[in-house]
Structure 1
Amino acid sequence: MLFFRAICFNLKQRRWSFLEKNLPSLTNAIASRVLCEFQNSPQLALEFYNWVGDKKSVLHSLESSCSVIHVLVNSRRYDDALSLMGNLMTVNGLSPLEVLEALNNSYGICESSPAVFDALVRACTQIGATVGAYEVIMKLQIEGCCVTIHAWNNFLSHLIKVNEIHRFWMVYKKMVSYGYMENVNTFNLVVHALCKDCKLQEAMSVFYRILKSGIWPNAVTFNMMVDGACKMGDMDLALMLVRKMEIMSAGSIKPNSVTYNSLIDGFCKIGRIAVAEELRNEMMKIDIEPNVRTYATMIEGYSRAGFLEEALRLCDEMVERGLLPNSVVYNSIMHWLYKEGDVDGASLVFTDMSDKQIPLDKFTCSILTRGFCRNEAKELMMMMVLWGVLPDNITYSTLLTNIDKSCSAEEVIELHYYMVLKGVVPDKITYEDIVSPLLQEESATN
């Protein structure tokens, strides 16, 4: 007890030299007790935990890790707590249920709260442990120590992100059967899932159910409905929702840049650029500044419609407004310039992109693959690797399919081996039609 008190006293004073002298006597149990003692000083507790790990990593037991996690969660230091939980599962190799058991064992000693279990579910979804997150929820449900609606919402959101919509509905029904009261975030997730399934009418039914239930929809609810309507081409419904947004929310919600970007994208997709331009002007009149996404959408719309001069004018305008075009903007302009046969113009755009150090992505690589001189295939692939963008099999297959006949069989084979070494292979059709015959020919020659 005296040793424990001495450690706590000197830690408060940050006398690390004293702690280092007594490090040999510091046990896992004492380290965990010290961490729990500093509930009101989470930063100091975390410093002590990290210091012990640096000096004597063997003391970083599961017990001490859980103790500091409880302290961090109680202090709402969720990011630090989630990071530690994630490390326990990804670095230390513990299963979510093992972490849950350890948190349960130290729960009372650290005077913790149920928020720690919500945090564990979130940590599981962050590292992609879908099954583990569900196991934690079910285990707690069986033991009568349930997670809150926030953990269920987090898990449901994760299922949408990984596109497991069928499992989403199974979990949602189970949650409702347990008697959980849905909140606006739950309803938003349901609307989102229905929109992903192209069930717009059902999403509208849920939307009206939200209004009748006394739970006010928020901006996210309206924006998801607008976006869902736009993606399904129902622009009349999308416009109706936007025009009645303030009335339906009792004046609490107004359209924002996300709302207008969805509308502009929807009208651009169906070729009604003039309406999209009117909406861009409208948003500026009500003091909603167009952002990079707004311009990227409009530029793609004008380019697709063949109005490249207008697209380039918008590029200049966004720069004048202090907005830096991103790879989406440059990709769009380059793609349509190549489509029009303006290779020089596309090259100038690419040069400008490089000068501004805009990061390249795989779409950029695919566009360059189709647009560059065919006999520069190998050099292009090597440039991509140097840029840090490894071409995928689609880019590779596109390049092989479009390669100029002036490129020798040896160069094509060399390119093939180079990409295989990088872990990239062409699709089945490209391999059978182009690569395999050349490889057979080479084998017969040798």
Structure 2
Amino acid sequence: MTKLFEPMDLRTQTQFDTSPKITSNAVHHRYLHHAFYHSSLRVASRSLRPRVNRRLKPPSKPVLNEAQFRHAVSQLSPRFTAEELCRVITLQEDPLVCLELFNWASQQHRFRHDVSTYHITIKKLGVAKLYQEMDEVVNKVLDVSHIGSEALFNTVIYFFTEDRKLTKAVNIYKYMRNSRNVECKPTIRTYNLLFSAFLSRGSNSYINHMYMDTTRCLFKQMVNDGIEPDIFSLNFMIKGYVLSLHVNDALRIFHQMGVVYKCLPNWYSFDYLIHGLCAQGRTQNARDFCNEMKKRGFVPSSKSYNSLVNSLALGGEVDEAINLLWEMSKYQRSADLITYQTLLDEICRHRRVGDAKLLLTKLQEKKLVDNHTYGKLLHRLKDHHRN
């Protein structure tokens, strides 16, 4: 178990190679530059100092509505049950009233909380982002070993991941896995929550590479425990491998779908792979997947189409890229500015400035570019003409 969660501490990850293992041909580097460099320099706002001051100012603590709390208590019978308390807490809109009801009930003679009262209280506090208060209730649940359920702990994991507390989420998972209570054992829903959290760490391939090691171990542990992966967990694995630049591993998972695992690829499975293959300069493979995708009745996303158009253009297949651009329009998929710039630049690089101008005119006529985008692209073409 220890090895599974070693990647959680970012400060100890010195064993990974920080340089992405990608091909070094010029076409590929140009593709990465055009397809993935979307960031731009931000000009500091004049209101920066007030915003910083507001952030430094400690937030005012919410105050309990005493009248609302007393009214909620009056709704309970003298010897109320956990079911009654759960019903009253559910009706409350103020999360602090919910917490006060929970704590007040804990002090009442002969009353004992059950799974439902813990669950509704944690859910109310989590939705309100009162994570510190929620954490205290979670600790009370963990102190009572015979109380718990898969649904309750999945809710805890979900809100810990929302609060970016991955270590706490993992600890809950470990608690579930080690529990003697069969109702607390992790299910496919538990694993998918964790997969989703590990794969939402941003677009940095090094960070994704590091978390992918944890995700891979978690997936293996799930399968070893006899839990059959579903389409969501398999797509999470494909996406994770693509984001961490392990496209061959993503392809392995894809080809195991329907053979090793009892579910077929869906739209997302193809989409992640097309983008990942283009990012590695494997344009022909990406095109094959795109064709297979359409044969199965799926339509590639705008992201996949943009990746393919960029990759084809940078590979010198500008006419094929133009055809794909019109296909995008047919399926109501939109190209972005970088795709238009890349395609027009590559047409001009092949000494076909006239064709580039004609294409831009058609894009404007079909209202595929707005006036602002048209102006920027036209200015770019004029630069090519002068050069």
TM-score bracket for this pair, using the shorter chain length: 0.5 to 0.7
Match of 2:192 among 153, 156, 161: 153
Deviates more, 1:120-129 or 1:96-105: 96-105
Secondary structure at 2:259 match in 1? helix
Whether the aligned pair in 1 keeps the contact of 2:241 and 2:250 (CA below 8 Å) is yes
Alignment match, 2:131 = 90
Helix, strand or coil: the match of 2:309? helix
Partner SS state of residue 299, structure 2: coil
Alignment of 1:185-200 (within 5 A): 185-200=232-247
TM-score relative to the length of structure 1 = 0.52
How do residues 348-427 of structure 1 correspond to structure 2 at under 5 angstroms? none
| Distance in 1, Cα, partners of 2:134 & 2:94 | 22
Q: Is the 2:309–2:324 contact (alpha carbons within 8 Å) kept by the matching residues of 1?
A: yes
SS where residue 198 of structure 2 aligns? helix
The amino acid across from 1:154 in the alignment is L
**Pair 1:264-2:309 in alignment:** yes
- Give the secondary-structure state (helix, strand or coil) at the position aligned to 1:118: helix
Q: Does structure 1 residue 298 correspond to structure 2 residue 339?
A: yes
Give the AA of the match of 1:85: G
Shift of 1:87: 4.7
- Mean Cα displacement is larger for which, 259-268 or 128-137? 259-268
SS in 1 for 2:333: coil
**Higher share in helix:** 1
> Secondary structure of the residue that 1:161 maps to in structure 2?
coil
Stretch deviating more after TM superposition (220-229 or 202-211): 202-211
The structure with higher relative contact order (CA 8 Å, sep 6+) is: 2
Distance apart, 1:141 and its partner CA: 0.7
Matched, 1:123 2:159: yes
Contact 1:302–1:310 under 8 Å retained in 2: no
**Which letter maps to 1:150?**
R
Q: Is the 8 A contact 2:157 2:172 kept in 1?
A: yes
CA contact (8 A) 1:200 1:228 kept: yes
Matches within 5 A, 1:111-260: 114-144=150-180, 145-162=184-201, 163=208, 164-213=211-260, 214-245=262-293, 251=296, 253-258=297-302, 259-260=304-305
The unaligned stretches of length 5 or more in structure 1 are: 1-17, 39-44, 73-80, 108-112, 342-446
Structure 2 counterpart of 1:49, one-letter code: Q
> Shift of the alpha carbon at 1:136?
0.7
Question: What is the distance in 2 between the residues matched to 1:33 and 1:274?
Answer: 68
Equivalent positions of 1:44-123 (< 5 A) are: 46=90, 48-50=91-93, 53=96, 58-59=100-101, 61=103, 67=116, 70=119, 84-85=125-126, 87=128, 90-92=131-133, 94=135, 98=139, 100-101=141-142, 114-123=150-159
1: CA distance, partners of 2:362 / 2:140: 53
Aligned residue number for residue 15 of structure 2? none
CA RMSD of aligned residues (A): 4.6
Q: Deviations over 1:7-32 (max 9, x none)?
A: xxxxxxxxxxx988756767899596
Find the residue that maps to 2:332 and give its secondary structure.
coil
Whichever residue aligns with residue 333 of structure 2, its letter is P
Amino acid at match of 2:240: A
| Structure 2 portions without partners, runs of 5+ | 1-66, 107-112, 202-207
Change (3 A) 1:266 1:139: same
| Corresponding residue SS for 1:92 | helix
* Contact 2:73–2:101 (8 Å) recurs in 1: no
1:281 aligns with 2:326: yes
Separation in structure 2 between the aligned mates of residue 206 and residue 255 of structure 1, nearest angstrom: 21
Q: Give the residue type in structure 1 aligned to 2:298.
A: K
- 1:86 and 1:69 mapped to 2: Cα distance? 14
Distance of 2:70 and 2:277 partners within structure 1: 67
Letter in 1 for 2:195: L
User: 1:140 corresponds to which letter in structure 2?
Assistant: M
Q: Secondary structure at the match of 2:265?
A: coil
Aligned length: 291
1:197 positional shift: 3.5
Inter-partner Cα distance in structure 1 for 2:124 and 2:314: 41
SS at match of 1:212: coil
| Aligned residue type for 2:271 | N
